[in-house]
Chain A
Amino acid sequence: QSALTQPASVSGSPGQSITISCTGTSGNIGNYRLVSWYQQHPGKAPKLIIYEVTERPSGVSDRFSGSKSGNTASLTISGLQTGDEAAYYCCSYGGRNTRVFGGGTKLTVL
């Protein structure tokens, strides 16, 4: 149950697009389309922004999109806004009632 691997930080300017990768194994990401992404602002609870690799919950901006290839999932944020500055976490089903999170990526909007 090792954590999924994410870059520690990414940055971009307002209006630009960024992509955050999340690398797992054949035991989690590679074997299931059960990848979700969460946004967390400092001092707040995480918020679900992507589920089942590409799906957005009601109310989440279409500037957020997800994808997966092999053992790696990705989150893309287009048209960066200052309010997007937060930590982002991926999560995958790990089999037998388990989940595993990535280490988190801090997004800075310059």
Chain B
Amino acid sequence: QVQMMESGGGVVQSGGSLKLSCVASGFIFSVSGIHWVRQSPGKGLEWLSFIRHDGDDGYAESVNGRCTVSRDDSKSTVFLEIHSLRPEDTAVYFCARDGKSSSLDYWGQGTLVIVSS
């Protein structure tokens, strides 16, 4: 079955950087796109980034220039690097598979990032 698992969250100082990982299994990773979505405490979902199977990518305006998404197909893993972290980046970060008709069909359980000031 399809599984997505995020890791790399934790407490980081304001101004610092973090690299999150998303390991996938149960499907052919090399032909699949992967999204990153975050959710601040008590708030809604915010789409952040997407990487296609061919490495082409896209970012939300709110994080463009501070985020870099990459993938390692040999490890079925996608990474999200976030720089210049701010307290408002505190959130649970989810990865999700790109499904039919641009939907996000399978999600991980998320990894919590806390940015301390």
| B89 interface residue (CB < 8 Å to A) | no
Whether the pair A98, B99 counts as a contact (CB closer than 8 A) is: no
Residues of B within 8 A of A (CB): 35, 37, 44-47, 50, 52, 56-62, 94, 96, 99-105, 107-110
By beta carbon, the residue of chain A nearest B109 is A45
* Residue in B58, B94, B99 whose beta carbon sits within 8 Å of that of A97 in the complex: B58
Given contact pairs A1-B60, A48-B99, A52-B100, A98 touches B47 in the complex (Cβ within 8 A) = yes
Within the complex, the shortest CB–CB distance from B2 to chain A, in Å, comes to: 12
Given contact pairs A1-B60, A45-B94, A89 touches B99 in the complex (Cβ within 8 A) = no
* Residue in B60, B100, B102 whose beta carbon sits within 8 Å of that of A93 in the complex: B102
Residues of A within 8 A of B (CB): 1, 3, 32-34, 36, 38, 40, 45-48, 51-52, 55, 57, 87, 89, 91, 93, 96-104
Whether the pair B107, A45 counts as a contact (CB closer than 8 A) is: yes
A99: B residues at CB distance < 8 A: 35, 47, 50, 102, 104
B62: A residues at CB distance < 8 A: 1
Nearest 8 CB-CB pairings of A with B: A97-B58, A104-B44, A52-B101, A51-B103, A36-B103, A45-B107, A34-B102, A93-B102
Given contact pairs A101-B46, A103-B44, A45 touches B110 in the complex (Cβ within 8 A) = yes
By beta carbon, the residue of chain B nearest A47 is B107
Whether the pair B44, A101 counts as a contact (CB closer than 8 A) is: yes
Name 7 A/B residue pairs within 8 A (Cβ), A-sorted: A1-B60, A36-B103, A36-B104, A45-B110, A46-B94, A57-B105, A89-B45
B100: A residues at CB distance < 8 A: 51-52, 55
By beta carbon, the residue of chain B nearest A33 is B101
